[in-house]
């Protein structure tokens, strides 16, 4: 009950204060320009599956008052220079939405790029209602994957742990990026890997090997799709590999492997890692 009386008293005090406000110069503070309340429509944008042939990417801004035309300055200092991003965006009278267009013609397929934009015109923003005064973005063009076939893979990664001296070769399913020497392997350590049992691996896991530079093949750090009780295995290249005569190899100790609960160590200790892309088959 005391809280109710306190609330009523506070309301009464507020009512007494209202006549004291200066309303003679409302437009000086509450102009149409500030009431536009411009905002980015999103605060975070992640678009990593853009078409390989995309040349532009659009970031939307909006406002709640479209009475007048408005031009808003944009801080584009944290946008990659090759994107040629405008430093302002304009709303025509009557328009509630405007677009900031980034030129991504020079964004290489498979390359992930981050950046941010911010509204520089403070009088155009109401921070209390804006969705986002700034926006962070991550963009990447996706490869177009085509069936390549079943190829032979020789493992010398898992051999780094558990005293597995046997080098095994088995079939794995491979896709190739259209127009690139980039290969995606499904279930590198899946059903066909002889040391795995059902439940050890996650069906459908993907591993990508970038062989665009035949003398510097890249195996980015990535999960391998199986777990023997120490967390999911992951691996990456420490030295560039080679793609020659249809075969991808890495130098001795040119790979590393790890598990969250078992640490990390060198892999390919025998230099036997090999993805043989010759004579792919349609089935195992």
Backbone CA torsion sign across 170, 152, 263, 203: negative
User: For residue 151, how many other CB atoms are within 10 A of its CB?
Assistant: 21
Q: Span 217-230, mean pLDDT? A: 95
What CA–CA distance (Å, rounded) separates 134 from 261? 39
Question: Which residues, listed in sequence order, are joined to residue 114 by a DSSP beta bridge?
Answer: 138
Report residue 28 as tokens.
Answer: 């000086």
> Quick one: pLDDT at residue 132?
81
pLDDT tens digits, residue range 149-185? 999 999 999 988 877 667 899 999 999 999 899 999 9
> Quick one: pLDDT at residue 130?
56
Residues 6+ apart with CB under 8 A from 13: none
Place of tokens 């009557």: 94
Parallel, antiparallel, or unpaired for β 134-141 and 44-50?
parallel
Whether 41 has a pLDDT exceeding 70, the answer reads: yes
Residues 6+ apart with CB under 8 A from 51: 141, 142
Percentage of the chain modeled with pLDDT above 90 = 68
> Quick one: pLDDT at residue 123?
76
- Full strand arrangement of the beta sheet holding 242-244: 206-210, 182-186, 169-177, 145-154, 274-281, 247-249, 242-244
Report residue 101 as tokens.
Answer: 């267009």
pLDDT tens digits, residue range 45-72? 999 999 988 999 999 999 988 988 999 9
């Amino acid at each position: 009950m005391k809280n109710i009386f306190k609330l009523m008293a506070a309301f009464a005090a507020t009512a007494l204060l209202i006549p004291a406000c200066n309303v003679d110069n409302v437009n000086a503070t509450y102009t149409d320009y500030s009431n536009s309340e411009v905002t980015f429509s999103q605060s975070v944008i992640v678009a990593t599956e853009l078409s390989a042939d995309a040349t532009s990417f659009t970031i939307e801004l909006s406002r709640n008052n479209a009475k007048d035309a408005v031009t808003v300055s944009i801080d584009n200092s944290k946008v990659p220079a090759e994107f040629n991003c405008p430093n302002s965006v304009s709303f025509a009278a009557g328009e509630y939405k405007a677009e900031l267009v980034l030129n991504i013609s020079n964004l290489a397929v498979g390359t992930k790029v981050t950046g941010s934009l911010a509204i520089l015109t403070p009088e155009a923003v109401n921070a209390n209602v804006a969705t986002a005064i700034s926006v962070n973005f991550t963009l990447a063009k996706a490869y177009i994957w085509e069936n390549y076939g079943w190829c032979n893979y020789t493992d010398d990664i898992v051999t780094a742990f558990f005293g597995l001296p046997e080098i095994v070769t088995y079939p794995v399913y491979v896709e190739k990026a259209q127009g690139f020497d980039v290969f995606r392997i499904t279930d590198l350590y899946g059903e066909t890997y002889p040391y795995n049992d059902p439940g050890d691996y996650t069906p459908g896991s993907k591993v990508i090997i970038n062989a665009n530079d035949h003398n510097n093949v890249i195996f980015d750090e990535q999960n391998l799709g199986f777990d023997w009780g120490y967390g999911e295995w992951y691996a990456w290249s420490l030295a560039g590999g080679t793609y020659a005569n249809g075969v991808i190899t890495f130098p001795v100790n040119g790979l590393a492997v790890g598990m969250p609960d078992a640490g990390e160590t060198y892999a390919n200790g025998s230099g036997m890692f090999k993805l043989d892309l010759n004579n792919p088959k349609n089935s195992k």
